[in-house]
Amino acid sequence: MKILDYLFLISGLQTFVICLVLYFYRSHKIRVNRYLSYFFATLFVEVILYFISKFIKHPMVYYIPLRFDFLSMNFLFFYAIEVTGITIRKRLYYYIPAILEFLLLSVFFILVIYNPEIHITLQKISFLKIIDIISSLYIIIFSILIIKINIKHKKALPYFYKVTKFKSLNWLTVFCVICIFFNIQSYVLKVFPENQYIRTIFITTYLLSLYYITIASLIQINIMNIVSSKIEEKETMQELEKVMTILEKYLLETKAYVNPSISLKILAKDIKLSERLISKAINKVTHKNFNNYINHYRIEEFKKLMSMNRHEKFSISAIANEVGFNSRASFYKNFKEIVGVSPSLYAKGLNT
């Protein structure tokens, strides 16, 4: 065998082992990991087909229905949406292209076995080339969809986990970019069909990308990074109250609420807790959302400044800006909802 054949053999064996590990390993993500297992199973079959084509010269090998050009990326897509918590209806529809490919190739596989000359006819109409072009477009489209899902997953991570290191799907994004590159590059190679050097580089890089995704999948096998609300951690009320104690202490010591640009993200970074946990604690313990919670602190600070006769030197709007309100309308609306009277009536009450 040639060097490339050995590389394919090693890649195939590694793919097969990773497929079994992902399928049988008992982790918290066993259902999700099995989509990766199915993906690697299709790759393993492709390696087998490579060696079949090396040793069997009958034209039927071009029509073996287990090509999976319209199936492999589906499993990566399902893996990404499961980890991101996206719900899709009628998932069976995504298998239709693969089913049609299987049925169509099965028909020609049988026909070519009994009549090899049919292969010549199909070559004349570029049957296999058309399938290759369509499948490449299919892979590119799904790669782009997966990349978009991965971006969404990365943005959602801080809401679910305090530590997000190693939890993103960047490795999957890298692989999808490689898939896009290879499916475009494969047509460039056809311009130089006799250039063995370019072909060797192309195939070697392809095998290295497979090695990369197998290792990345194995690393992530037990890393909990699912951001679906269905698996949200169940904190007790006591734990949430501890979060509120930390939050209130921080706000009282720093008066971070007077910053008009304060946000849940900034606050989470400062007190080193996840955005999701802070938001949940505020909702469950105070029965307020984040903005209402912060505005309560601002109103209390405003009342404190008013009690110090600050309104005798500055306007009500100026004091409102000082405590973090950057909109007069927002301040008046929130003040009346919280205190029960307008800021003007409240100020008059202090003067009487």
Instruction: Give phi and psi for 190, each to the nearest 5.
Output: -70, -15
Q: Which of 169, 174, 273, 302 is nearest to 227 (CA)?
A: 169
Angle separating helix axes 196-219 and 3-24, nearest 10 degrees:
20
Are the C-beta atoms of 237 and 302 separated by less than 8 Å? no
Highest mean pLDDT (candidates 60-74, 146-160, 298-312): 60-74
Tens of pLDDT, residues 190-225? 555 556 666 677 777 777 787 888 888 888 888 888
Are the C-beta atoms of 211 and 14 separated by less than 8 Å? yes
Instruction: Tell whether the model's pLDDT for residue 160 goes beyond 80.
Output: no
Q: What average pLDDT score do residues 11-24 get?
A: 90
Rounded distance between C-alpha atoms, residue 143 and residue 134, angstroms? 14
Q: Hey, what are 161's tokens?
A: 């986990």
Tens of pLDDT, residues 270-315? 888 888 888 888 988 988 899 999 999 999 998 888 888 766 777 8
Instruction: Tell whether the model's pLDDT for residue 232 goes beyond 50.
Output: no
- Residues near 273 by Cβ (< 8 Å), separated by ≥ 6? 162, 243, 246, 247
- SS3 of 352, please? coil
Task: Output the CA torsion sign for 74, 76, 82, 87.
Answer: negative
In percent, the amount of the chain with pLDDT more than 90 equals 37
Phi-psi region of 193 (alpha: psi -120 to 50; beta: other; left: phi over 0): alpha
**What is the maximal distance between C-alpha atoms in the chain?**
105
User: Sorting pLDDT into bands at 50, 70 and 90, what band is 135?
Assistant: very high
Q: Which of 295, 152, 297, 290 is nearest to 225 (CA)?
A: 152
More confident of the two residues 188 and 210:
210
Instruction: Tell whether the model's pLDDT for residue 351 goes beyond 70.
Output: no
pTM summary value: 0.66
Q: What average pLDDT score do residues 149-168 get?
A: 84
Dihedral angle computed from the Cα positions of residues 94, 95, 97 and 99, in that order, rounded to the nearest 10 degrees: -170
Q: Which of 344, 84, 38 is nearest to 231 (CA)?
A: 84
Rounded distance between C-alpha atoms, residue 256 and residue 301, angstroms? 11
Tens of pLDDT, residues 274-283? 888 888 889 8
pLDDT value of residue 188:
60
User: Sorting pLDDT into bands at 50, 70 and 90, what band is 186?
Assistant: low
Rounded distance between C-alpha atoms, residue 279 and residue 91, angstroms? 33
Rounded distance between C-alpha atoms, residue 352 and residue 350, angstroms? 6
Q: What average pLDDT score do residues 177-197 get?
A: 70
Instruction: Tell whether the model's pLDDT for residue 180 goes beyond 60.
Output: yes
pLDDT value of residue 30:
87
Instruction: Tell whether the model's pLDDT for residue 229 goes beyond 60.
Output: no
Phi-psi region of 233 (alpha: psi -120 to 50; beta: other; left: phi over 0): beta
**Cα angle 76, 79, 80; round to 5:** 90
Rounded distance between C-alpha atoms, residue 348 and residue 320, angstroms? 16
- SS3 of 136, please? helix
The total of other beta-carbon atoms located within 10 Å of residue 29's CB is 22
Q: What average pLDDT score do residues 31-43 get?
A: 93
